C-alpha cells in the first residue's frame, strides 16, 4: 500500500506526476488555502503532509493532527510556520528544501536592489499611466549600485550567492552572521560581529536571515539610525525580521532612500504605508518563483519523503 500524502497547495505538474506515480496523494487542484480545521480534517488517514509556508502548524494544530501523520515535508526552505518543538514532542519528523532556492532568491534580491535604487516602480507606473512627460537632467535620479558597499545580514546559502552576484557590480561586501565564516566562504567579505557594527558600512542592506525569536524585528529604529543617510534596504527573507513602523518612518523622512521588499509581515495583507510610499519597490513573495526552482523544491520534498518511507534519515530533517 502506497503512503497517503496530503498536498496542501497546487504543485508543479512534474512534481504532481511523481506524487501520483509513487504515492497516493490528496491533491489541491483549485489551489485553495486550507483553514486549520480543514487541514486537520483533510489529513485524516494520511501518512504525511506536504505543505507550503502558507499553512501554519501551531502547537495546537500539531496536537490535533491525526495520529496517522508521521512527517511534515515542507515545500519551502523556511520552516518558521511549523512549531518544531511541538512537532518533536509529538514525534513528528519535519523537513525543508534548502539549497535549491539560492540562485532564484539571490536573483530577486539583485532585482530588488536595482528596482529600489533606480526607482523602477515609479518609472513603470509613469509609463503605464501616461504621466511620463519628457527627459531632463533632474528627472528620476536614483542611486547607482556599482562600487557601493553591500551589507548582508545572514551570509548563508542565499546570502553568499547574492554576494557573488553583487561583486559583478564591483560592490564591496560586508556581513553579519552569528559566527564568522571560514575565508573560503567569506570570499573577501568583511565580518562584523553584531548588526550594530555592520549598519554604518551599508550603502545597501540585504536581509537574508532566518525568522526566529532572535531575528524578530531585527531591523528596528535603533539599527536604522546607524545606517548611512540615503541607504537602501531590501528584504527577500521573511517579513518578521523588519519593524514595519520603523522602516516606513525612515522611508518617509528620507533616512532610507528606498526599500525593495518581497516579503512582509502578515502577507498578503501588508502594512498600508508600503503601498502609499513612492520610494518602495514591492514584489509579491516571488523569490523562488522560477520553473526550475519550483520543480526542484518539489523534488527535494519528495526526496525527503522517499527516504522517510524507506526507513532512512531524511536528508533535510529539521525536527
Query: Domains of the chain: which residue ranges?
Result: 4-100+291-309, 102-282
Mean pLDDT of 152-159: 97
CB 42 within 8 A of CB 6: yes
What is d(CA 190, CA 115) in angstroms, rounded to the nearest whole number?
Answer: 25
195 — pLDDT class (breaks 50, 70, 90): very high
Q: What is the pLDDT of residue 246?
A: 98
pLDDT band of 27, cuts 50, 70, 90? very high
Superfamily of domain 102-282 in CATH is NAD(P)-binding Rossmann-like Domain (3.40.50.720)
Q: Which of 238, 271, 294, 300 is catalytic?
A: 238
Task: Give how far the C-alpha of residue 282 lies from the chain's centroid of Cα atoms, to the nearest Å.
Answer: 14
Confidence tier at 4 by pLDDT (50, 70, 90): very high
Known catalytic membership, residue 267: yes
Instruction: Work out the pLDDT band at 97, boundaries 50, 70, 90.
Output: very high
On the question of a common fold for 4-100+291-309 and 102-282, the answer reads yes
Q: How much is the pLDDT for 133? A: 93
Task: Identify whether the C-beta of residue 151 lies closer than 8 Å to the C-beta of residue 202.
Answer: yes
174 is catalytic: no
| Bridge pairing between strands 93-95 and 190-191 | unpaired
Number of other residues whose CB lies within 10 A of the CB of residue 157: 18
**What is the CATH architecture assignment of 4-100+291-309?**
3-Layer(aba) Sandwich (3.40)
Please write the tens of the pLDDT for every residue from 230-245.
999 999 999 999 999 9
Which of 18, 285, 294, 300 is catalytic? The answer is 285
User: Buried (b) or exposed (e) across 16-38, using 16+ Cβ within 10 A?
Assistant: bebbeeebebbbbeeeeebeeee
Confidence of residue 107 (pLDDT cuts 50, 70, 90): very high
| Active-site residue, 285 included | yes
**Share above pLDDT 70 across residues of the chain, in percent, rounded to a whole number:** 100
Enter the DSSP assignment of 15.
H
Q: Which entry of 16, 107, 186, 267 is annotated as an active-site residue?
A: 267
Asked if 70 and 93 count as a contact pair (C-beta separation under 8 A), the reply is yes
User: What's the whole-model pTM score?
Assistant: 0.93
Amino acid at each position: 500500500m502506497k503512503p497517503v500524502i496530503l498536498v496542501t497547495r497546487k504543485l508543479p505538474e512534474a512534481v504532481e506526476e511523481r506524487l501520483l506515480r509513487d504515492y497516493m496523494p490528496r491533491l489541491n487542484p483549485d489551489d485553495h488555502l486550507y483553514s486549520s480545521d480543514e487541514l486537520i480534517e483533510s489529513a485524516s488517514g494520511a501518512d504525511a503532509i506536504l505543505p507550503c509556508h502558507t499553512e501554519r502548524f501551531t502547537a495546537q494544530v500539531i496536537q490535533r493532527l491525526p495520529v496517522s501523520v508521521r512527517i511534515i515535508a515542507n515545500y519551502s526552505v523556511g520552516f518558521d510556520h511549523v512549531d518544531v518543538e511541538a512537532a518533536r514532542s509529538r514525534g513528528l519528523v519535519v523537513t525543508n528544501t534548502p539549497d535549491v532556492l539560492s540562485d532564484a532568491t539571490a536573483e530577486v534580491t539583485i532585482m530588488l536592489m536595482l528596482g529600489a535604487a533606480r526607482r523602477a516602480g515609479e518609472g513603470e507606473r509613469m509609463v503605464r499611466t501616461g504621466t511620463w512627460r519628457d527627459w531632463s537632467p533632474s528627472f528620476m535620479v536614483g542611486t547607482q549600485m556599482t562600487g557601493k558597499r553591500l551589507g548582508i545580514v545572514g551570509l548563508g546559502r542565499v546570502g553568499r550567492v547574492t554576494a557573488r552576484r553583487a561583486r559583478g557590480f564591483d560592490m564591496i561586501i560586508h556581513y553579519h552572521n552569528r559566527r564568522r565564516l571560514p575565508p573560503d566562504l567569506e570570499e573577501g567579505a568583511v565580518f562584523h560581529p553584531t548588526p550594530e557594527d555592520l549598519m554604518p558600512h551599508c550603502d545597501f542592506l540585504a536581509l537574508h536571515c532566518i525568522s526566529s525569536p532572535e531575528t524578530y524585528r531585527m531591523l528596528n529604529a535603533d539599527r536604522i539610525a546607524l545606517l548611512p543617510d540615503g541607504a537602501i534596504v531590501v528584504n527577500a527573507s521573511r517579513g518578521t525580521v523588519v519593524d514595519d513602523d520603523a522602516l516606513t518612518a525612515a522611508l518617509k523622512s528620507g533616512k532610507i532612500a528606498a526599500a525593495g521588499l518581497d516579503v512582509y509581515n502578515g502577507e498578503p495583507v501588508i502594512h498600508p504605508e508600503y503601498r502609499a510610499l513612492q520610494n518602495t519597490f514591492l514584489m509579491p513573495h516571488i523569490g523562488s518563483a522560477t520553473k526550475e526552482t519550483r520543480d526542484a523544491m518539489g523534488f527535494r520534498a519528495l526526496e525527503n519523503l522517499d527516504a522517510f518511507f524507506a526507513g532512512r534519515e531524511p536528508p533535510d530533517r529539521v525536527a
